Structure 1
Amino acid sequence: MEENLLSEGRGAAAIVGVGTTEQGELPGRSGNEIAVEAFRLALEDAGITKHEVDALITCRSYGGFGIDTQIGAMIGLNPRFSATLEYGTCNFSLHLAVMAIAAGMATTVALTYGTNQRTQRRRFSAVADSAGDLEAPYGFVNIAGPAAMAFRRHQFLYGTTEEQLGAIPVAQRRHAMLNPLAIFKEPLSLEDYLASRYVVRPLRRPDICMISDGGACLIVTDRRRVADFRPPPVYILGAAQRTGLRHHRDPDAFLRPWIKGMSQELFGRAGVARADIDLLYVQDPTSVYVLQALEDYAFCSVGESGPFAEDGRIQIGGELPVNTNGGQLSESYMWGWLHLCEATRQLRGECGSRQVAGARVALYCSYMGYRKAAASVLGSEVP
Structure 2
Amino acid sequence: MPFRRVMPVKPRNSFLFLQGVSSPFFSRLAQALRANGQLVKSVHFNMGDILYGSGARVFFSARHEQLLNFYTDCFRADHITDVVLFGDCRPVHLPAVKLAKSLGIRVHVFEEGYFRPYWITLERNGVNNHSLLPRDPDWYREVGKYIPRYQNGKSFRLSFASRAIHDVMYHVGGALNTVVFPHYKTHAPFNAAVEYAGYIRQGIRLMSARRSDFEVINEVVRNRHRTFLLPLQLDSDTQIRDHSPFKHMKDVLKHVLGSFARHAASDVRMVVKNHPLTPGIVNYKRITQRIADKLGIADRVDFIESGHLPTLLSHVAGVATVNSTVGGSALMHNVPTIALSDPIYNLKGLTHQAGLDEFWDHPEPPDSTLFRRFRSTVIHTTQVNGGFYTRCGIDMAVNNSAEVLMAKTSRIEQYL
TM-score by length of 1: 0.30
- The structure with more helix, counted as a fraction of residues: 2
Q: Which has the higher contact order (CA 8 A, sep 6+)?
A: 1
**Which of the pair has more CA radius of gyration?**
2
TM-score by length of 2: 0.28
- The structure with more strand, counted as a fraction of residues: 1
